[in-house]
Homo-oligomer: A and B are copies of this chain.
Amino acid sequence: MEKSTTMVVFSGDLDKAIASFIIATGSAAMGNKVTMFFTFWGLNILRKEQYVPVKKTFLENMFGKMMPRGPGQLGISKMNMGGIGSKLMKKIMRDKNIATLPELMELAKELDIKIIACAMSMDVLGITEAELIDGIDYAGVATYLAEAEESQVNLFI
């Protein structure tokens, strides 16, 4: 029987995003089916870097403006120092030829990792499909749970 790995990516921190994609691509490279369910701040990882004009309420607009748009704007969970920590970590990873988050996300696509954006969280944070990267699915917690029940490794990140 095919083995599988599922994870809920709740965090939108760069370091946790990197960890989740390293585990996900590592598992897929071992031949496992992998599903990543992005919810709450994790949705920011999936946002397009460019601004997408979408009609929003005042609050949705405010949240949208304050939250990072894609990997390039994510902070790290510790020692972020207003973004300096995040920049330094990215520099170190480039210098050491360690795969960056955009590269890991590209690899995830090549390895057929299923990326699901949580529809309810999108509603709460006022994020629309037009603002997220292409090639992903949209679903609710029941879809995640159905896959999680059958998988060997489940993580909440």
Contact = CB atoms under 8 A, between A and B. Distances in A.
Contacts of A154: 153-155
Interface residues of A, dominant DSSP? helix
A10 B3 contact: no
B8 A142 contact: no
Interface in A110-157: 120, 123-124, 126, 140-142, 144-146, 148-150, 152-157
A116 B82 CA distance: 31
- Copies of this chain present in the complex amount to 3
B10 A16 contact: yes
A86 interface: no
A104 to B, nearest CB: 12
Interface of A: 3, 5, 7-8, 10, 12, 15-16, 19, 22-23, 26-27, 29-30, 32, 39-41, 59-60, 62-63, 66-67, 77-79, 88-89, 91-93, 96, 98, 120, 123-124, 126, 140-142, 144-146, 148-150, 152-157
